[in-house]
Structure 1
Amino acid sequence: MIGDYTYDQFFSILAMQGFAGLILFSVFVLMALGLAIIFGQMGVINMAHGEFMILGAYVTWGVSLFVTSFAPALFPIYFFIAMALAFCASFTLGVFVEWAMIRHLYRRPLDTLLATWGLSLILQQTYRSVFGAREVGVSLPDWLMGSLPLTDIIEVPINGLFLMALTTIIATAVALLMYKSRWGKQVRAVTQNRVMAGAVGIDTKRVDRMTFGLGCGIAGIAGSAFTMIGSTGPTAGQLYIVDTFLVVVFGGAGSLIGTIASAFAISQAQSTMEFFLSGSMAKVLTLLTVVGILMLRPQGLFTLKIRR
């Protein structure tokens, strides 16, 4: 016996909480990937990142309503259409925001933080005015419903498995884009030495704009995925923005491997402790542990050599 649980019950609880942690890990990775790209390459603290996520969620909800009403034959595959449209909507808004506001605030981190925080409030009110204050949810196709029994006690939801598979595909695609493509080489060149990158003919302003748009587009995909595990409201993005920044800073700004490792560690710790403690206490203990580690290693788990 372990407390009030038998050994079988205790290890089954750990397994189910571990799987719940993997679902939370998937959301953290999708959110933090875009933020790590933006913060690591441009040094922009984007406090409106959660609102780009919610834009993707609302696009998915809109596509769900449209397909249900006008094209029911597409319902089994509408989620893939919705994710593509969510990426396009968040990417387009991100490119516009970079052109209209962010490009005027480079190398002014405090001003950028305040400006994007103001943008987040504007977007929240816009969503509230357009979509209403009530939370909304999407209808999932039948193939995403239900669960798979692993043992007599442990069952895993199918939408959670799909979310983890989606995260794996997106993370792999981003890694290939950043480390294997010509554009990715330009991004890394600008990150490591902006002046030299400009001197050899790289359009650093265009790289910044497309990078910001890509980060926001990935947040849109995260919002689309988020609709599978929770409802969407105008302020829902703020529930994840602190955890997302924590993941990025703990993993090391600009490091994709660090972001993934940090998201895994934080999500598993929170999920496991939430069962035995309250949710707020689990967050407090996780935050204290991360702060303690950052005091010993302020650069995060993984670092990039950057010449400023």
Structure 2
Amino acid sequence: MDAVFLAGQMFTGLSVASILLLVALGLALSFGLMRVINMAHGELLMVGGYLTYLCAQQLGPNFLWAAFPVAFLGTALLGALLEVLVIRRLYGRPLDTLLATFGISLIMQQAARQLFGSTGVPVTAPGWLAGTLTLHGGPLDGLAFPHVRLFVIALSLLVLGSVWWLLTRSRFGMQVRAVNQSREMASALGVNTRRVDLLVFALGSGIAGLAGVGLAMIAPVNPTVGGAYIVNAFLVVVVGGVGSVLGGAVAALILGAMTALAEGLTSVSLAQAIVLIAVVAFLQWKPRGLLPTQSRALEEA
């Protein structure tokens, strides 16, 4: 097998895994803390991508400085609205929540078709991200690393580090961990669990919006792009361990590399089947995932 081809596929898998990690981070937070299966989470990725497109249309080549805060705040507010109007009224009813959020995802997809059309809208990356880093000499001579994909990888690492710091070093993170361990005890100690739920859901939604910024620079944004990521994002959450940020990061890297390698050797549809079979086999061995979190809520579910 050509070493350059193999390394190129692995790098592509790493950049895809970076987007997948950002999408899965929000799911890991909301599902691990609130036990909510949000089928509309992928559409928040889509919204972030379309907000990036609008910023590029309005601001031209230097749109990134505005795209990140606009996408994060826009999707965070949308997620907060979803939590207040729908999710909060369905706690403890997982099937109803799943059906309700699935319906919301269909509504958001149709709204995107009405506003932007059914075909993908392209976003041209800024000029400083247009080049490639090419290796010369050695066994990987000619291997090219597009700057935009390197930027997406760096973005995911920055967001991952920020979320880790927030959850482990801040007062808000301490409250999140307390609610995750025992909601009743945290409430008895004065933690406003409703407020924590709202902020966690909004944070996860905002991170999905940031993923949309990265996605918009490497692929066109279309109304169904969220559906292409939501299934794999759930796989990342389950394989990594529900509620585990580090586990999700490791799982995203593994699944992204597996998918890219399988697609390079076979086809897209067969690669998905191979990944699903591998996930099922892995869960037979470690049903709680790579790095499961300790939580009474999860043990009682």
- TM-score range for the pair, normalised by the shorter chain length: over 0.9
In the alignment, the residues of structure 1 paired with residue 114 and residue 9 of structure 2 have an alpha-carbon distance, to the nearest angstrom, of 37
Aligned length: 293
Matched residue, 1:141: 126
Shift of 1:200: 0.6
Shift of 1:134: 2.2
Matched residue, 2:98: 113
Among 125, 131, 134, the residue aligned to 2:116: 131
Among 207, 214, 232, the residue aligned to 1:218: 207
Shift of 1:132: 2.0
**Long gaps (5+) in structure 1:** 3-9, 69-74
Q: Are positions 1:195 and 2:184 aligned together?
A: yes
Shift of 1:80: 2.7
In the alignment, the residues of structure 2 paired with residue 155 and residue 192 of structure 1 have an alpha-carbon distance, to the nearest angstrom, of 46
In the alignment, the residues of structure 2 paired with residue 96 and residue 20 of structure 1 have an alpha-carbon distance, to the nearest angstrom, of 35
TM-score, normalised with respect to structure 1: 0.93
Shift of 1:220: 0.4
In the alignment, the residues of structure 2 paired with residue 51 and residue 164 of structure 1 have an alpha-carbon distance, to the nearest angstrom, of 21
Shift of 1:282: 1.2
Deviation track 1:161-186 (CA, whole Å, cap 9, x = no partner) reads 11111111000000000111000110
Identity in percent = 44
In the alignment, the residues of structure 2 paired with residue 65 and residue 252 of structure 1 have an alpha-carbon distance, to the nearest angstrom, of 40
In the alignment, the residues of structure 2 paired with residue 140 and residue 262 of structure 1 have an alpha-carbon distance, to the nearest angstrom, of 28
User: Following superposition of structure 1 onto structure 2, how do residues 49-60 of structure 1 map, counting pairs within 5 Å?
Assistant: 49-60=41-52
In the alignment, the residues of structure 1 paired with residue 224 and residue 3 of structure 2 have an alpha-carbon distance, to the nearest angstrom, of 36
Matched residue, 1:299: 288
3-state SS, counterpart of residue 116 of structure 1: helix
Matched residue, 1:38: 30
Matched residue, 1:6: none
In the alignment, the residues of structure 1 paired with residue 152 and residue 75 of structure 2 have an alpha-carbon distance, to the nearest angstrom, of 19
Amino acid at match of 1:117: F
In the alignment, the residues of structure 1 paired with residue 82 and residue 142 of structure 2 have an alpha-carbon distance, to the nearest angstrom, of 49
In the alignment, the residues of structure 2 paired with residue 264 and residue 60 of structure 1 have an alpha-carbon distance, to the nearest angstrom, of 25
Shift of 1:209: 0.5
Shift of 1:281: 1.0
3-state SS, counterpart of residue 234 of structure 1: coil
Q: Are positions 1:67 and 2:59 aligned together?
A: yes
Shift of 1:81: 1.3
Matched residue, 2:71: 86
Deviates more, 1:125-134 or 1:155-164: 125-134
**Long gaps (5+) in structure 2:** none
Matched residue, 1:228: 217
3-state SS, counterpart of residue 227 of structure 1: helix
Matched residue, 1:166: 155
Kindly report structure 1 stretches of 4+ aligned residues shifted beyond 4 Å: none
Deviates more, 1:294-303 or 1:213-222: 294-303
In the alignment, the residues of structure 1 paired with residue 240 and residue 178 of structure 2 have an alpha-carbon distance, to the nearest angstrom, of 21
Matched residue, 1:16: 8
RMSD: 1.0
Shift of 1:188: 0.7
In the alignment, the residues of structure 2 paired with residue 268 and residue 234 of structure 1 have an alpha-carbon distance, to the nearest angstrom, of 26
Amino acid at match of 2:123: V
Q: Are positions 1:176 and 2:161 aligned together?
A: no
Shift of 1:277: 0.8
Amino acid at match of 2:186: A
Amino acid at match of 1:251: G
Shift of 1:276: 1.1
Shift of 1:296: 1.9
Deviation track 1:90-117 (CA, whole Å, cap 9, x = no partner) reads 0001111100010011111111111100
TM-score, normalised with respect to structure 2: 0.95
Deviation track 1:251-274 (CA, whole Å, cap 9, x = no partner) reads 111001110010011010111121
Deviation track 1:219-271 (CA, whole Å, cap 9, x = no partner) reads 00001110011101111111111111111111111001110010011010111
In the alignment, the residues of structure 2 paired with residue 106 and residue 199 of structure 1 have an alpha-carbon distance, to the nearest angstrom, of 19
In the alignment, the residues of structure 2 paired with residue 234 and residue 24 of structure 1 have an alpha-carbon distance, to the nearest angstrom, of 19
